[in-house]
Structure 1
Amino acid sequence: MMNELLALTLFILHVIFADASQEVQCSPHDSAQRFTFLITSIRNETGHRVVQAELQNQADITFDPGDPITLGVTHSRSLCGGMEMVQLKTVISVSERNVKSMKGDYELFPGQGYYKLHTNGMTWDEARITCYNEGAQLMVINSEAEANVVKEFFSRHLNFRDVQSSLYVFIGFHDKFAEGHFVLINGEPLDSSGYTNWAPGQPNGSHRQNFGAVDNQGLLHDITDGEKYGFICEKE
C-alpha cells in the first residue's frame, strides 16, 4: 500500500454563547483565547481504525507526524444580537501508513494478520525453521477469508526460484508421523483449523507425500518429501 493523501475536508463549526451584556456588533474580532480541536486516528494490528477527538483550550498543539489522521482548528469570534459566536475552521487530512513496514517485511492483511511469502524454494522442514527464525510460523489457514490471502499472493505473479512448481506453496500441516493423520504444526488435528478444502483427488494417500501445501486457488495438497517450494509464514 502506498502512502497517499486520502481526504481533505473543510468544515465550519458555530458555537453560540449567551451574553446579554454585549452590544450588537456582528463583526469578527481577535481574541487571546484560543481553542484547538484535535482528531487523531491510528490503525491497530488487526487493521481497524481507532479515532480519538479532543477539544483543548490552548493556542498551539504539536501533532505526532506518525498519526495517519490529524486535524487542526483556527477560530474567530463575533458579537451579534447580544450573542457571542465562535467560528471554528477546521482542515482534516488523512494519510495512510505503509502497513507492509509495520512488522518488518510482513504484510498486514486487514482482519487476518501479518504474512510473508517466501519465493525461494525450500523443503517443508527448512521452511518451518525459516519461519520460526523470523518469529513466525508456517501459515495455518483457518477460513475461506484467510485462503484469500494465498490467492492474493499468487495473483501478483511473483517469480519463484529453485522450486519444483510455482503452483503450490508450503503451509503448516503434515502427516509425517502417521500416514493419513494430518496435523497442524502445533500438533492439533487439521480439522481443528476450520479449513479442510482439499483439491480434487487430494490427499492421494502416498506414503512419500507427507507435507502440506496450498495451490493458487486456495486448495490443499500433500507434497512429496524432499521437494522444494515457496512458502508462507504468518505472525500474530
Structure 2
Amino acid sequence: MLVSRFKESLGKSKGRQSLYAHSLSSTQIALQVAQMAGERPGPRLDRLVFATFIHDVGKLDPNFQAMLDAVSKGEKLPAKKVKHEASTFDYELPQLVLGSKEEIQKELQEALGYRLDLASLDGAMEHIWAFAVSHHGLFYLSYERGRDRVLRPLIRRQWTSFYPNEERRITLVDLLFEYHPLGGLVMISDLVASYCYEKGKDYQALFGQTRSLGELVEMMIERADEVEEARDYGVKETMMLVGGGLR
C-alpha cells in the first residue's frame, strides 16, 4: 500500500532520501507548526496532517522517479520531465491513497504518536487533493464536466484562465482562507523539511529562532534566495502570499 510504496520510492535526489522519510519529516514539522499556531486536536488538524503526509503522492509517477534517479546518479535527465503535483490524479494514485487510510493512520500513531480520526476525512478529500496539487503554488484544482456529463477533478496551472467546462475550483488562496492561519501549512512544512534536509540543518533550530507562525514564514522569506536553489516556483513571492495576515 501507500506507506510501503513511499518507503521504496525516492523523495529527493540528494542522498536518495526516501519519499517516506520526507513525508514523515514534513508531517512532524506540520504538527509542530500547528502547535505553534495554537491549533487544537480535532477534525481540522486531522485533515491538515493527513494532507501533509500524502502531499507528494505525485512523486510516485514513474517519470518523476526516473528524473530523481538520474539526478542522484549524475546522469542525463530523461526526455520526459514532469511536475509531480500535476501527477496527483495519475496512475490510480487517488485510489492508492483512499485504500491506505488505515495504514497511514497506523503509521502516524506508531511513528509520531499522532492519533488520526479517519472520520475527520469524510467530506474533506477535495481539500486534501487541493493541498497536494497546490503545495508549490503552481497549480489549482478545477472541477469540470466532460461530454459524458461526469464532473471530474482536473489540475490546471493558469489561475487567471477560465475553462468552459469548469464548474468550480479550489486554489491555494481558497485554502489560505478556509484554514487560516494554517492554510499554508502543507507548503510551509514541505519547504522547511526540504530546506533543512538539503542544507543539513536541524529544523528544531529554526523553531528555536521563532516564536510564532508569522515569524517562521518571515524567516523563510528572508532566506528565500537560499531556499530557492534548484527550485523554479518563486519561493519568496509564494511565501509572501502565505504569510499575509499572519503574526
**Which bin holds the TM-score, normalised by the shorter protein?**
under 0.3
Task: Judging by fraction of residues, say which structure has more helix.
Answer: 2
Q: Report the TM-score, using the length of structure 1 for normalisation.
A: 0.20
Q: Report the TM-score, using the length of structure 2 for normalisation.
A: 0.20
Task: Judging by fraction of residues, say which structure has more strand.
Answer: 1
